[in-house]
Amino acid sequence: MSTLLISGARPLGGDATDVLVRDGVVTGIGTGLDAPSDVERLDAEGLVLLPGFVDLHTHLREPGREDAETIATGSAAAAVGGFTVVLAMANTSPVTDTAEAAERVLDLGRATGLVDVQPVGAVTKALAGEELAELALMHRSRAGVSVFSDDGRCVHDARVMRRALEYVRAFGGVVSQHSQDPSLAGSSACCHEGELSGRLGLPGWPAVAESSIIARDAQLARHTGSRIHVAHVTTAEGVEVVRWAKAQGIALTAEVTPHHLLLTQDRLSGYDPVFKVNPPLRPTEDVEALRAALADGTIDAVATDHAPHARHDKEHAFVDAAFGMLGLETAFAVVHDTMVRSGALDLAGLADRMSVAPARIAGLTGHGRAVEVGAPANLVLVDPDAGHTVDAAASKSLSRNNPWHGMSFTGAVHTTLLRGRVTARQGETP
């Protein structure tokens, strides 16, 4: 029997207490706990104890692009970032569109053992947007897939989306949509459409390309009685549609990325491809709308959209470079700085948006639980006062497309525990 005593931690930023963990489960909370003399001790004085973070949106690249990331390196980055589970997107090679492919991703994650890796299944075969993938078979497999997404591509055909929603309703699944109408924002669109895109000569990505798909999918979710999740909302227009849908009682949830909470389109002025991401960075007024929506619960969750790329895919002229940026290791710091230090959320609110809500959306009952007796010890200790500067070279990811390099933040992950086992401590994995 393994036993761990976490001493002096402050659950959700409250009063300091001790937490006893036996065989991966919280068995006691309080002072003067009865623990064996040989118990492993973890001094958490001055640290805040939160449920381990849950990422609804991670690209691990394996299989197919192990030059950019592997499940092992991505898991290490996730553990260092305070995550205990990540949902691995389906746009691998081959695509995760069969039960066998999903089980392969699950097994690779288990072999690494640093975080739980939960496969996301493709909505359509080969992400082609035409024929549904093996949704039910993936759900019934050992991987137990419940979230499906063609992320990177929009399921733009309304008939196909309707069929997917009807299909997943039978087993309580959810479709996560990349809301980008290809007739309004094509594959080359890489800059928010407006004065800046015109001045820089970059293909524009208008807000309506996002909001129109969110509105359509909300109506389809209402029609089918199914659940829709909106990946990486980026615009004030999109927020308003999400708010409207929720007011109508539609089963719609939404996420926002850390980079869309802080970075603006102004970063594109130097044509640095590290800032090329899809959806693109938006103007300040959209960033402000996203922060307000996350604070008031219109946006349910933070998701990283961690998108590693090999240098030979990213180091090109801006229009030719791959979309995406890293996010797992820095997510807590960015959200803490933008939302908690600003007063928009407290630490309990941060835990809700980064752990409780995403676990609920994905149906992950073993994660996102309150710090209470009987709960799995999937936990993270953070130091809200620790200042640090991001060094891209120190990343656990294989890739270096890190938009935060050289930026300073207050708030750092100290220790991550997966079922009571330390998987990361002060930036290092076992």
Which run of H or of E encompasses 165? helix 158-169
55, 150, 151, 305: which is the annotated catalytic residue?
305
Positive or negative CA dihedral for 389, 419, 47, 415? negative
Residue 320, number of CB atoms within 10 A of its CB = 12
Residue with token string 């994995």: 429
Positive or negative CA dihedral for 142, 147, 148, 151? negative
Alpha-carbon distance of 308 to 61, in angstroms, equals 8
SS3 content of the chain, % helix, strand, coil (to 5): 35, 25, 45
- Comparing CA positions, the residue from 232, 145, 137 lying closest to residue 180 is 232
Alpha-carbon distance of 262 to 257, in angstroms, equals 9
> From the centroid of its chain, how far is CA 288?
20
Alpha-carbon distance of 156 to 397, in angstroms, equals 32
- Comparing CA positions, the residue from 255, 228, 324 lying closest to residue 55 is 255
Return left, alpha or beta for 301; rule: phi > 0 is left, psi -120 to 50 is alpha, else beta.
beta
The residues with which 229 forms a beta bridge, in sequence order, are 176, 253
174-177 and 227-230 beta bridge pairing: parallel
Residue 394, number of CB atoms within 10 A of its CB = 11
38 is catalytic: no
Straight-line distance from the first to the last Cα atom of the chain, in angstroms, rounded to the nearest whole number: 20
**Radius of gyration, alpha carbons of the chain:** 21
Return left, alpha or beta for 373; rule: phi > 0 is left, psi -120 to 50 is alpha, else beta.
beta
Active-site residue numbers? 305
